[in-house]
Amino acid sequence: MKRSKFLSLCIAGILTASLFVSCETDNSNEEEISANEISKDVLIKLEKAHFSTENAKMINFMGEQGVAVEDMFFTFDQIDELSQGISGPLQKQYRTTNLVTGLPRLIKVSVDPALGNLGSDALDAMISMYNAENLQLTFERTTFGLKGKKKADIEVTEFYELESGGFITLGRAAGFPTRKGDPAKGFGINSRWFELLNPSLAEVTGTMAHEVGHCIGFRHTDYMTRESCGQNVNEGNAGVGAIHITGTPTISDATSLMQACGPADSFNNNDKIALDVLY
Ligand SMILES: [Zn+2]
């Protein structure tokens, strides 16, 4: 969601995010189990990695069981990995420990037809948005649902999750790059968002670009404070797997596409610098 984008959108029309949606779902892609079943150990690991666990919940997502926090989903193995490396000097934002390797590299992406023409058009626009930056990652569309080696590197799936507490989760990324240097396997887009708020192509494209940002190693620009979500968390201890990218601000950047809850739908100059530095 851009609340992650945790993006969550306030239904009142203010784009702030909260991803935290505790809700019932009725879609096969996502099934809420029970937030109460998350062990303290797991919550502590997530908090040490600077995720807000306020609305953390256990779900099945993209075929695996794990925990949804902000606009991210992590399996328990991924949570263990996040919690490693919790030492060292104070680090600031932006990227995760693992990045996509094997550059230059072609990244194939696909979108679930359940997201309709809007999802399809947004995928194409998102691909153009990244390719316009002339990175060492080149994005290319492929057919959804392919198996094995033909499978897309990043799959965009559909999930249906009701709004809660005035917020709706727009998208949810399945983690960050793997230790092997592959992108996260994909992200979901909430079709309830389409139904409820009739978003524009630019909004859906921006959310997809934000979630792809997570898949290739971007954390939220304001992950230390979450101020774009209307929170003011001041955590002075060392970040985990969050390494500042040279040439970008260490303070909040209100127009960054990677703000936790920001309204941006395109890369700002610092996002472009960050992409350029990493890829
Ligand atoms: Zn996000």
pLDDT of residue 244: 79
CB neighbour burial string for 189-212, b if at least 16 within 10 angstroms, e if fewer: bbbbbbeeeebeeebbbbbbbbbb
pLDDT digits (tens, 9 = 90+) for 167-226: 889 999 999 999 899 999 999 999 999 999 999 999 999 999 999 999 999 988 887 777
Region of poorest pLDDT, from 6-20, 75-89, 218-232: 6-20
Q: How far is the CA of 277 from the centre of ligand 1 (A)?
A: 20
Distance of CA 154 to the CA centre of its chain: 12
pLDDT higher than threshold 80 for residue 108: yes
Q: How far is the CA of 89 from the centre of ligand 1 (A)?
A: 24
Q: How far is the CA of 212 from the centre of ligand 1 (A)?
A: 9
CB neighbour burial string for 19-40, b if at least 16 within 10 angstroms, e if fewer: bbbebebebebbebeebeebee
Region of poorest pLDDT, from 18-27, 66-75, 203-212: 18-27
Residue with tokens 């499978």: 151
**Radius of gyration in angstroms for the set of CA atoms belonging to the chain, rounded to a whole number:** 17
141 neighbors 123 (Cβ within 8 angstroms): yes
Give Cβ neighbours of residue 115 (< 8 Å, ≥ 6 apart). 122, 156, 158, 189, 191, 194
pLDDT higher than threshold 70 for residue 72: yes
Mode of pairing for the β-strands spanning 137-141 and 105-111: parallel
Q: How far is the CA of 173 from the centre of ligand 1 (A)?
A: 7
pLDDT of residue 16: 34
Q: How far is the CA of 262 from the centre of ligand 1 (A)?
A: 9
DSSP state of 148: G
DSSP state of 276: H
pLDDT of residue 238: 39
pLDDT of residue 126: 98
* Count of CB atoms situated within 10 Å of the CB of 148: 5
Q: How far is the CA of 71 from the centre of ligand 1 (A)?
A: 5
pLDDT of residue 263: 77
| End-to-end alpha carbon distance in the chain | 23
pLDDT digits (tens, 9 = 90+) for 214-262: 999 998 888 777 778 776 665 444 345 677 787 787 766 889 999 888 7
- Delimit the domains of the chain by residue range: 1-279
Q: How far is the CA of 72 from the centre of ligand 1 (A)?
A: 7
Give Cβ neighbours of residue 99 (< 8 Å, ≥ 6 apart). 177, 181, 216, 217, 278, 279
What average pLDDT does this structure show over 54-72? 93
pLDDT of residue 229: 79
Q: How far is the CA of 214 from the centre of ligand 1 (A)?
A: 7
CATH topology of domain 1-279: Collagenase (Catalytic Domain) (3.40.390)
Region of poorest pLDDT, from 56-70, 78-92, 177-191: 78-92
